[in-house]
Amino acid sequence: MSSPNLELVCWNVHGLNSPAKKKALREFTDTTHPAIFCIQETKLACIDDFTVMQCLGPAYDGFAYLPAIETRGGILVAWNS
């Protein structure tokens, strides 16, 4: 069975501090390969290249984020060129 060609995925993760959630995102990304990935409610104040690589893999070479404020919010948008 082939995976669908997804252009955009939005996922409300309710926090990315858990290694299990990072692993679930990575597994989903590895099977679906969306062009753009929007992750809501990251609850992270800072997101760097390493975090994007952990969650989404090396295919995503661009990203932007809005930091969480205390324990609320946070958005990550990543794309592959």
12 is in an annotated binding site: yes
5 is in an annotated binding site: no
Residue 64: other Cβ atoms inside 10 A: 10
In a domain, 49, yes or no: yes
In a domain, 3, yes or no: no
Q: If you average pLDDT over residues 35-39, what whole number do you get?
A: 96
In a domain, 2, yes or no: no
In a domain, 66, yes or no: yes
Which residues are CB-contacts of 73 (< 8 A; sequence separation ≥ 6)?
41, 42, 43, 66, 67
Residue 80 has pLDDT above 70, yes or no: yes
In a domain, 13, yes or no: yes
Residue at token pair 């800072």: 46
In a domain, 1, yes or no: no
Confidence (pTM): 0.88
Q: If you average pLDDT over residues 38-53, what whole number do you get?
A: 96
Range of the domain at 65: 8-79
Question: Count of domains in the chain?
Answer: 1
Per-chain mean pLDDT for the chain = 92
User: If DSSP codes are grouped into helix, strand and coil, which group holds residue 33?
Assistant: coil
